[in-house]
Amino acid sequence: MPTRKDVDGDDRSGVMRWNDAKVSPDGNLFLGSMAYENQKDQGSLYRLNKDGKKLENLFGSVGISNGMDWSVDLSRMFYIDTLSMRVDQFDYQNGQISNRRPLVQITDGMGYPDGMCSDANDNLWVAFWLGSCVRCFDGKTGKLLDEIKLPAQKITSCVFAGEKLDKLVITSAVGNPGEQIDLDQYPQSGFIFIASPGVVGKKTNLFGA
């Protein structure tokens, strides 16, 4: 299987790492990189073709590559670079992305946008690191629709699950190595939470399917 070194000529081992990845409805794996020290603009977003034979660097200048998902009709891809403080969208066709543009602008005090999923109505559910919540945004206008508050500070991602896809499974973190952790204030840091937001999600896609 091809690696970042095959694509970029230098894998910068010990400097860069993979961060988030998700399989598109048409079976390709999209995966992003970031610097271990969180330096801005050092990462990239890649696509591994569903046959596993071709890895392509789609664009660079990424801070922390995070949440991804696609619209139900597969015409758009949603993407988060945490350090940009935005949720962006692309036009999507046959595994190709184009026309990047902002959809949601995150304001000071909301925390940092992290992992993400979308529901069957194309609304986006975004986990907020240092935000103690998951927020739902309209997938067409970017308008804030809902908020699920949580007893942990560092919320990392979410996904719909359950037999009816009506449960939102939410992950959190204790923190990064070396960070000062306030477990007295947030004793449930690192827990997994399950919410019932009143909507249904979409099935997880399988690589190569």
Residue 122's closest CA among 200, 61, 28, 186? 200
Residue 134: Cβ within 10 Å count: 26
Burial class (CB in 10 A: 0-12, 13-18, 19+), 198: exposed
Q: Which of 20, 69, 81, 114 is catalytic?
A: 114
How is 96-164 classified by DSSP, letter by letter? Answer: EEEEEEEEEEPPTTS-EEEEEEE-TTS-EEEEEETTTEEEEE-TTT--EEEEEE-S-SEEEEEEEESTT
β pairing state of 133-137 and 65-70:
unpaired
Count of residues in the chain:
209
114 in active site: yes
Q: Which residues are catalytic?
A: 114
